[in-house]
Amino acid sequence: MNLIIFGGFLGSGKTSLILSLSHFLLENKNSVKSNVVIIENEIGEIGVDDKVLEYSGLSVRELFSGCICCQLSSDLIITLNDIHEKIDPEWVIIETTGLAYPGRILSTLKEYGKNIDSIKIVTVVDGERFKELIAVTPVLITNQIADGDIILINKMDLVKEKELEQIKNHVKKLNPTAGLHMLSANTSTDKDIWKEVTGKYE
């Protein structure tokens, strides 16, 4: 199984981007086995809609009783083991709660996870509220950005060009090695971004 962990504060647009990535993975399905499973750790703004569920090979699991980077870490491992035994998908997308630290989840998976071929963290940054969030919850936002392998600055259409450049520079200082992209989840996401995230369709 290849795991993609989506981190980012509540309302940053994780669910919309996960739906886009799910479509991309299903359209590029290259095996007969089930391809994508989504684990939701929070109720997103739009949820997993019927359009995605209509695709064959997609399953959704929900973990709503806590945060998977702390009290639900064992539940996540159990769920992943169950998914491997019953479905054995190529991809598992994990949508974390907005208060999660993806790095903690990664540490748990590295120590206790089984049958995992790769893990990548995608951090979604709320461009519209970045200044507010980095001021109010600096430790959380800083860590979410620092943990990311790929950083997606979302809602770029709602931010002035000068401010967007400032956000981009701030993010680069916090995580200079991550892949960085600016986008709007309300529009079609460039497939090259998902190619970089998955590393499988170059």
The answer to whether residue 202 is domain-embedded is: no
Instruction: List pLDDT tens digits, range 33-85.
Output: 568 888 877 544 444 443 444 444 456 665 544 444 444 467 888 889 988 88
d(CA 142, CA 200): 29
Q: Say if 170 falls within a structural domain.
A: yes
**Per-residue pLDDT tens over the stretch 178-200:** 999 999 867 888 999 999 999 87
pLDDT for position 27 = 84
In terms of residue numbers, what domain contains 58? Answer: 2-196
136-152: per-residue pLDDT in tens?
A: 999 999 999 999 999 99
Contact 120, 4 (CB under 8 A): yes
Structure tokens of 5? 């962990």
pLDDT of residue 137: 95
The pLDDT value given to residue 188: 84
Residues 24-36 have a mean pLDDT of: 75
Is residue 122 a part of any domain in this protein? yes
pLDDT tens for 89-129 read: 889 999 888 888 999 889 889 888 889 999 999 999 999 99
| Six token digits for residue 17 | 């981007």
DSSP for residue 189: P
Burial class (CB in 10 A: 0-12, 13-18, 19+), 62: middle
Question: What pLDDT, on the 0 to 100 scale, is given for residue 7?
Answer: 94
In DSSP terms, 52 is beta-bridged to none
Task: Answer yes or no: are the C-beta atoms of 6 and 17 closer than 8 Å.
Answer: yes
Q: Can you give the pLDDT at residue 39? A: 84
Please report, for the domain that includes residue 15, its CATH number: 3.40.50.300
| Number of domains into which the chain is organized | 1
In a domain, 171, yes or no: yes
Reply yes or no on whether the pLDDT at 130 is more than 90. Answer: yes
pLDDT at 117: 93
201 inside domain? no
- What is the per-residue pLDDT for 50? 39
pLDDT at 97: 82
Q: Is residue 39 a part of any domain in this protein?
A: yes
d(CA 156, CA 54): 30
Q: 175 in a domain, yes or no?
A: yes
pLDDT recorded at residue 67: 46
Q: Is residue 159 part of a domain?
A: yes
